[in-house]
Copies of this chain bind each other. A is one copy, B any other.
Amino acid sequence: MKLLDIGEVAERSGVAPSALRYYEEIGLITSAGRKGLRRQFGPEVLLQLSLITLGKAAGFSLQEIAGMFGKDGQPDLPRDQLHARADALEAQIRELTVLKDALRHVADCPAPSHLECPKFRKLLRAGSITAEV
């Protein structure tokens, strides 16, 4: 079984060695063992790091990510909680879509004040995040 040392994991995952040590310290990943002092990682860590990177990009904290996929890649949470998270993600996707549309609107609409443009306001209201204005 092929083990990787931290430098190689860093290079192939794009995650800095210091970050990898930190992830291990907080229990987000595990090293397969040591060769002398040096951590050796199993190859599955690369896939885990993809997941972690993805989760981070999605705005989850490392704690939350740890809860979704345990440090061995297995979920800590029961099914329904995982589905609840997926539902939350769907909501977030909808919000992002609103923001994206708002941005496109702002880029293209010639109105002087977007905050007063009916189309723009409608876009925001569609996101249902608009406070009672």
Contact = CB atoms under 8 A, between A and B. Distances in A.
Interface SS, A side: helix
Number of copies: 2
A70 B106 CA distance: 11
Interface string A26-50: 0000000000000000011011111
Interface residues of A, number: 55
B93 A54 contact: no
Contact of A54 (B47, B58, B75, B95): B95
21 contacts: A13-B131, A47-B121, A54-B95, A54-B102, A54-B127, A57-B59, A58-B59, A58-B92, A68-B103, A68-B106, A69-B106, A73-B113, A74-B114, A75-B114, A82-B106, A82-B107, A83-B103, A86-B100, A89-B99, A90-B100, A92-B96
